[in-house]
């Protein structure tokens, strides 16, 4: 009887070892399965956002066993984005990153609520409106990643005020002591559009530079729209334009291409109109180096992609979203604001 008991103990011991081995093997296999992250993009044609996507893809290449990004293009249409999110809710995603087309919570509430009801970690990227902040605040698995949008406008104003002060005789074409400018704007209700348009001019005024808006044109971040709009406006009012302020680099580049059609901003200092943008796109940087564009405000796509990745991985694992990072929440307690810097020759 004792021998049988000993045999049973030995058999049970080996069964235990076998089960433990299987569990360890399963855990080992699982550790090689990457987290799936769904990234819902406003528009793949947005030049800066496309650079952020490329950097997320680079992160994926360097972390193949940790993360897999799937990108969805809304093509600038909130209805399409909502459908993309609805469809993805049926798939096995560990995190949703939503770069919304609209910042109107009424257009987002339904799909965002579905995400939270499924308890899926959520990053809202580029949408720090009061209503969206209020939506995300009670959701412990949600966070907003955005930029210090007021700072982007302030830095545009500083770049313009510096060049105006140092080259006033050449740039003040009608010698009235007032900077006559054209404003190229993004979408009407976009926080970036509102802040950059407001604070660029406010900064110029704070520097005691008087300004006059000749016209403002909504081009929704689009280069071709800006090019066409400036070409058309220049035909009748080209002699009045003393500066062009674009809410992003794509529109600034379009404006420069239009000016060049009329012989401006091609290297002749006597035929130069200051143009500023935001994003520090490679094409804008090259124009600035060549003296054909005045300056831009840098938001680094590498920094943005790293923030999405590191904060996202914390949310997935259940850690505090800012654990092990140098990021800080702003006064809302829900938003991380990534900084800007100036870029000029």
286, part of any domain = yes
Cβ partners under 8 Å of residue 162, min gap 6? 344
Q: pTM for the full model? A: 0.78
pLDDT digits (tens, 9 = 90+) for 53-83: 999 999 999 999 999 999 999 999 999 999 9
DSSP 91: S
Instruction: Say what the pLDDT of residue 128 is.
Output: 81
d(CA 183, CA 194): 11
DSSP 335: E
Residue 215 sits in the same domain as residue 141: no
Residue 201 sits in the same domain as residue 112: no
Q: Which range (11-25, 81-95, 136-150, 245-259) has the least confidence?
A: 11-25
Residue 70 sits in the same domain as residue 178: no
345, part of any domain = no
Residue 158 sits in the same domain as residue 129: no
* Placement of tokens 């999110």 in the chain: 85
pLDDT digits (tens, 9 = 90+) for 221-239: 999 999 999 999 999 999 9
The residue segments making up the domain with residue 239 are 150-298
7, part of any domain = no
Extended strands (E) in the chain: 35-41, 67-73, 95-98, 122-125, 142-147, 178-185, 210-218, 243-246, 275-276, 295-298, 335-338, 341-344
Domain CATH for 134:
3.40.50.2300
Beta bridge partners of 123: 97, 143
Residue 156 sits in the same domain as residue 281: yes
Number of H helices, E strands in the chain: 12, 12
Residue 335 sits in the same domain as residue 252: no
Instruction: Say what the pLDDT of residue 3 is.
Output: 54
Residue 144 sits in the same domain as residue 176: no
Q: Find the radius of gyration of the CA atoms of the chain.
A: 26
Mapped onto helix, strand or coil, the DSSP state of residue 338 is strand
Output helix, strand, coil percentages for the chain, rounded to the nearest 5.
Answer: 50, 20, 30
Residue 124 sits in the same domain as residue 201: no
Q: Is the pLDDT of residue 4 over 70?
A: no
Residue 196 sits in the same domain as residue 69: no
Instruction: Say what the pLDDT of residue 189 is.
Output: 84
Instruction: Say what the pLDDT of residue 43 is.
Output: 95
Q: Is the pLDDT of residue 29 over 50?
A: no
pLDDT digits (tens, 9 = 90+) for 80-107: 999 999 999 999 999 999 999 998 999 9
d(CA 218, CA 221): 8
Residue 266 sits in the same domain as residue 314: no
Quote the number of domains for the chain: 2
22, part of any domain = no
The residue-averaged pLDDT of 30-35 equals: 75
Phi/psi of residue 323, nearest 5 degrees: -60, 130
């Amino acid at each position: 009887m004792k021998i049988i008991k000993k045999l049973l103990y030995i058999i049970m011991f080996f069964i235990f070892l076998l089960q433990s081995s299987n569990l360890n093997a399963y855990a080992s296999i699982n550790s090689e399965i990457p987290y799936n992250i769904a990234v819902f993009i406003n528009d793949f044609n947005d030049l800066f956002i496309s650079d952020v996507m490329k950097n997320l893809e680079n992160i994926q290449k360097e972390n193949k066993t940790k993360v897999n990004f799937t990108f969805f293009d809304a093509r600038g249409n909130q209805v399409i984005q909502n459908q993309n999110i609805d469809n993805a809710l049926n798939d096995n995603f560990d995190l949703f990153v939503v770069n919304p087309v609209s910042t109107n919570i009424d257009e987002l509430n339904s799909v965002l609520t579905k995400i939270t009801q499924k308890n899926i970690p959520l990053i809202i990227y580029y949408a720090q409106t009061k209503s969206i902040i209020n939506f995300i605040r009670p959701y412990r698995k949600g966070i907003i990643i955005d930029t210090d949008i007021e700072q982007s406008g302030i830095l545009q104003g500083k770049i313009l005020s510096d060049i105006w002060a140092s080259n006033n005789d050449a740039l003040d074409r009608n010698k009235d002591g007032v900077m006559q400018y054209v404003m190229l704007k993004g979408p009407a209700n976009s926080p970036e559009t509102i802040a950059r348009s407001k604070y660029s001019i406010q900064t110029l005024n704070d520097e005691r530079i008087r300004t006059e808006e000749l016209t403002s044109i909504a081009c929704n971040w689009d280069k071709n729209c800006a090019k066409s709009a400036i070409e058309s406006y220049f035909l009748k009012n080209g002699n009045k334009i003393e500066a062009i302020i674009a809410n992003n680099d794509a529109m600034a580049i379009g404006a420069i291409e239009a000016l060049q059609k009329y012989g401006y901003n091609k290297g002749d200092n006597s035929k130069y109109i200051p143009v500023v943008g935001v994003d520090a796109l490679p094409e804008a940087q090259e124009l600035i180096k060549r003296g054909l564009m005045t300056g831009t405000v840098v938001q680094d796509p590498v920094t943005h992609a790293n923030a999405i990745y590191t904060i996202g991985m914390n949310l997935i694992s259940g850690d505090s979203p800012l654990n092990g990072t140098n990021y800080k929440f702003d006064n809302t307690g829900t938003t991380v604001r990534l900084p800007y810097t100036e870029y000029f020759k």
